[in-house]
Amino acid sequence: MKRIIQTANAPQAIGPYSQAVEINGTLYISGQVPLSPETMKVVDGGIKEQTLQVLKNIGAILEAAGYSYSDVLKSTCFLSDMANFKAMNEVYATFYAENPPARAAFAVKELPLGVLVEIESIASK
């Protein structure tokens, strides 16, 4: 059965989508941008601060669904500029120090709200 995941500890959806959907033991987390869940504004700072906020948002959704970072199988990282890859990667690595998930990372023309990074994830138990 499909279960919709919703938590106030991550930004509310800014469009017609769910924060995450779980089905058959697999959790699909929608792309997260660096919005503070309290203010719904983009966090101050550059790529490192934005990546940190994105991964915190993912963590809040994982927790709300009963998962953890160790359950993440795959992440897709969207960057506004590949020049930010190294700095994004440094922050990302702190969340997945052991047995990191599969991942793709690439630059796109632009991201919602003019942010520098968006990450979507798939987790399974």
What is the per-residue pLDDT across 1-47, written as a single tens digit (0 to 9) for each?
999 999 999 999 988 999 999 999 999 999 999 999 999 999 999 99
Name the packing angle between helices 47-65 and 85-95 (round to 10°).
Answer: 30
97-115 tens-digit pLDDT:
999 999 999 999 999 999 9
Mean pLDDT of all residues in 70-81: 98
CATH superfamily of 3-124: RutC-like (3.30.1330.40)
Can you give the pTM of this predicted structure? 0.96
- What is the structure's pLDDT at 14? 85
Average pLDDT over residues 69-90: 98
Find the largest Cα–Cα distance for the chain: 41
